[in-house]
A and B are shown apart, each in its own frame.
With several copies, the nearest count.
Chain A
Amino acid sequence: MELSILICGEAGQGIQTIEYLFPNVLKDSGLNVYSYKEYMSRVRGGSNSTLIRVSDRPVRAFCRKVDVLVSLSSQTTHLSRLSDRIDSDAIIILDSDSNTKLYHNGKIIHQVPISKLALQAGNKVYSNSVVLGMLCSILNLPFENALSAIEKWFCNKGGNICEENKIAAKLGYENISTNSDLRIRKDFNSDPRVKEHLLINGAEAVAIGALAGGCNFVSSYPMSPSTGVLTNLAAYSREFDIIVEQAEDEISAINMALGAWYAGARALVTTSGGGFALMVEALSLAGAIESPIVIHLAQRPGPATGLPTRTEQADLLFALFSGHGEFERVILAPGNIEQAFSCTAKAFEISDKYQVPVFVLTDQYLMDTIYNFDSLKKVEPCFNHVVKTTDNYKRYEITQDGISPRGIPGFGDGLVCVDSDEHDEFGRITENFTIRKKMVEKRLRKLKDFSDEVPAELIGNEDYRYLILCFGSTREIVVEAVKDFDEVAVVHLQQIHPLPSNLSRYLRMAQKVLIVESNATSQLGKLIKMDLGFNNFETLNKYNGLPFYVEEVRDFAKRFVKGEI
């Protein structure tokens, strides 16, 4: 049993509140829930929508199909914008003064006086509560469930707000209950375990993952869609020992973070493509001074400002090759919320251990995705890789594995000297050709023995003939898309660089390989050609700013399996 609900309207009309309250109501009711919002780069007006999927089985992916659409706006422009997602059997509800039906592009529109009911309850801004009531009624949930949500959310705001919102919800609830066309009453099986689940979005998962990784310093500059990680950490800074600084620009942000690592902190920067572009020189600095640094890079469509609030996976090769000169780095791209947490925590450990930059590569889709899940990976105590220095300490001691014990100033008897120029083992500037060569080799040796921190994950039939490869945030979409296919398996990559050693075998076992990426130039495909010499694959790409729909991956995969592609 499943239902897919799309709520649309202008920025500022209250979608955000519903998007927060309703999933929580559903979870409290023991139902699985997924939500994702697509929204314009503006604060008021425009046209936004949030998809909420409800199910008695776990749901975790973006889909095209809409069963119920609720428009907070009376403007039909929102419907037009979403028209390719609204099939003829969808129930469409539009705010209106009347309670009658209407036809739009051949579809029936149920008009509900949402804002009128809100006004009746006391204020037009209570529309979101009206809709909450409506949605609860549509799903046949007891009204009490809506009520307790409203109490939690509004009842510390003082005045009549709480009571009036309750009335608004009630009016919405009743409007639907008494409207025979709109009683859907699908019967969901409530699962009591779901009530105990976690419900967070990708941004929170990265932020909490950072804490789990021992992050105690974050310096960044706001940029969608990466800002959520910064604001979450800022909120945690009220209780956790973490310094949160908004820098004057991204260049400052990353240099500050490098200073922090140098002095013994575990620092993070969170940014998006354009901001990261400004950090590239300092990334190379991290390479030169062998400083750890964790970079959360939340991708959005480029080039340049592009589509600031939308999603894409087009910065993979940029992350891999950015920075002048040659030095190592690690790139992790979590596939879902649990992995957003675990990759970020792991990023700090890897970065500290190998003394290389580590990227956590996400995107707007993952940042703004919410679903319920059972648990996160266990938080481990941080292993501190810093050594107490002795007199005559060599920051860049040449070692077999290329990793030199890392000291910090003020801890031990040595001096810690780091230099962006080529340097000797003590960190002092040198132009000696032999030392230069040794230092290049030392820096490039560090990941030679990189054991796979996150192997490629095979999902589905182990005796596959067809393999679908994807990375990062497309995981759940691809998995749902082909879950009922015979002879098809999915391989998902979290560890993009170095590529996990088990990947090549998976690829070569397949008769045909399809690579699914949210970009136009098949960047993972290029990487696989380059790193594995594997050239034999088809590609599916999307780059209009929206994530893949489950359905379009499914349709394409069908044709791929049939040999039509």
Chain B
Amino acid sequence: MATRFDLENIDIAWCPGCGNYSIHNILKAALEELDIDPKNLVIVSGIGQAAKAPQYIRCNYFNGLHGRSLPVAVGIKASNPNLTVIVESGDGCMYGEGGNHFVHAIRRNSNITVIVHNNMVYGLTKGQASPTSQRGFTTSVQVAGVLNEPFNPIAVALSLKCSFVARAFCGDIQQTKEIIKRAILHEGFALIDIFQPCVTFNKINTYKWFKENTYYMKDHDETDIRKAFERALEESPLPLGVFYVEKRPTFESQQRIYKNSLEPLFKRKHSVEQIMNLIESKRRW
């Protein structure tokens, strides 16, 4: 599907067959269906294969440091709440290097959408384990296989009362697109962890593996955090869909300066007089 987000003549650096392509196309389709203006869209990413994604979409982007996409996104959204802000990064970027921001950005509940391309491996640096790599996964660094308990982003997000928590699989275009659309429309921090096969470095968690080891939740009560947590602990098969949704004031909506107007910071007046008054007040105490 052609969208207003397509770029011409670009050289996409992903491997043929990589799951990133389908996330890329799904996202563009979702944005198109939501009728979002590229000029009003900012995609923020870190560093990694997934993090190259904004380079391939017509939009504003901030391709920052490995692991640091979330604080950048929070800063952007807080400075101009009228922008649509999406974060797109890899599992290593978001849950490894960026783990502390993941935890605390969720607590803030900024109105941003966070799409994690979870391929359970470090792609760009050529195949080391990521926090979501499964036990026993062997790599050039984890020569005896991964020893750590895998990081469960869904469970962690729930434990932080993340206001929108979902998991998807990039092999399923339709349902993933619907989840992304819901996430973008959600007012608050929306996490979508998307399973994405890395055809080059992850020979375990392949398209086939994901297909065989996932299922969509049915009759799941999205407002029950306890149930959501129980679901999050399920391992084989792994549930897909929206685990939890909660309506809570966003970071931006709680700022004094946005109580009466959403005018972005750059449009606000610099009042020399107000500052002079402050200074003059320091002559008295």
On A, residues with C-beta under 8 Å from B are 12, 24, 40-46, 152, 196-200, 204, 208, 211-212, 214, 216-217, 219, 221-224, 227, 230-231, 234-249, 251-253, 255-260, 262-267, 274, 281-282, 285, 289, 304-305, 308, 376, 379-382, 384, 386, 408-411, 413-421, 427-429
Contact = CB atoms under 8 A, between A and B. Distances in A.
Given A264-B80, A409-B83, A256 B75 contact: yes
Contacts of B68: 251-252, 255, 282, 285
A259 B71 contact: yes
B38 A235 contact: no
24 contacts: A43-B201, A198-B279, A198-B282, A217-B78, A235-B143, A242-B257, A243-B79, A248-B99, A249-B99, A252-B100, A257-B75, A259-B76, A262-B72, A263-B266, A264-B264, A264-B265, A379-B276, A408-B266, A409-B60, A410-B60, A410-B80, A415-B59, A420-B63, A429-B63
Nearest to A259: B75
Contacts of A46: 11, 13
B101 A252 contact: yes
B71 A256 contact: yes
Given A260-B75, A417-B61, A248 B101 contact: yes
Contacts of B120: none
> Which of B54, B55, B66, B99 is the most central at the interface, judged by chain A CB atoms within 10 Å of its CB?
B66
Contacts of B274: 239-240
A45 B21 CA distance: 15
A464 B135 CA distance: 62
B39 A413 contact: yes
B272 interface: yes
B278 to A, nearest CB: 6
A352 to B, nearest CB: 11
B195 interface: no
B225 to A, nearest CB: 23
B49 interface: yes
B192 interface: no
A109 to B, nearest CB: 23
Interface in B41-65: 42, 44, 47, 49, 52, 54-55, 58-65
B96 interface: yes
Give the most central of B65, B143, B257: most A CB within 10 Å.
B65
Contact of A380 (B76, B124, B272): B272
Contacts of A305: 47, 65-66
Contact of B142 (A41, A246, A282): A246
A252 B68 CA distance: 7
B265 A222 contact: no
Given A152-B285, A237-B256, A249-B100, A43 B75 contact: no
Contacts of A256: 71-72, 74-75, 78
Contacts of A282: 65, 68
A5 B131 CA distance: 41
B76 to A, nearest CB: 4
Contact of A410 (B39, B72, B103, B200): B39
A419 B188 CA distance: 26
A304 B65 contact: yes
Nearest to A409: B60
B131 to A, nearest CB: 7
A302 B125 CA distance: 17
B270 A204 contact: no
B36 interface: no
A415 B79 contact: no
A227 B142 CA distance: 13
B11 A237 contact: no
B145 to A, nearest CB: 12
B268 A216 contact: yes
B272 A381 contact: yes
A402 to B, nearest CB: 21
B82 A410 contact: yes
B40 A410 contact: yes
A247 B44 CA distance: 18
B104 interface: yes
Contacts of A216: 265, 268
Contacts of B255: 243
B256 A381 contact: no
B71 A252 contact: yes
B141 A231 contact: yes
B233 interface: no
Given A244-B143, A419-B61, 10 more contacts: A43-B14, A230-B141, A231-B141, A252-B71, A258-B64, A259-B62, A259-B73, A379-B276, A417-B63, A419-B63
B141 A263 contact: no
Nearest to A40: B13
Given A249-B96, A263-B83, A258 B75 contact: yes
B1 interface: no
B256 A238 contact: yes
Given A198-B283, A420-B64, A234 B257 contact: no
A462 to B, nearest CB: 33
B262 to A, nearest CB: 12
Contacts of B64: 255, 258, 285, 289, 420
A262 B62 contact: yes
Contacts of B71: 219, 247, 251-253, 255-256, 259
Contact of A248 (B77, B104, B123): B104
B39 A409 contact: yes
A231 B129 CA distance: 12
A194 B12 CA distance: 43
Nearest to A237: B143
A510 to B, nearest CB: 38
Which among A211, A239, A249 has the greatest number of chain B C-beta atoms within 10 A?
A249
B178 interface: no
B2 interface: no
B123 A208 contact: no
A382 to B, nearest CB: 4
Question: In the complex, which of the residues A241, A263, A382, A419 has the most CB atoms of chain B within 10 Å of its own CB atom?
Answer: A263
A415 B58 contact: yes
Contact of B44 (A44, A224, A259): A259
Contacts of A384: 266
A405 to B, nearest CB: 15
A492 to B, nearest CB: 24
A244 B72 CA distance: 15
B236 interface: no
A43 B49 contact: yes
B59 A418 contact: no
A208 B278 contact: yes
Contacts of B141: 222, 227, 230-231, 234, 244, 246
B113 interface: no
A410 B75 contact: no
Contacts of A428: 55
Contacts of A251: 68, 71, 100-101
A386 B125 CA distance: 37
B275 A379 contact: yes
Q: Which 9 A-B pairs have the closest CB atoms?
A: A259-B75, A264-B266, A248-B104, A259-B72, A409-B60, A256-B75, A255-B71, A263-B79, A44-B15
Contact of B78 (A234, A243, A246): A243
A131 to B, nearest CB: 19
A379 B79 CA distance: 24
Contacts of A237: 143, 256
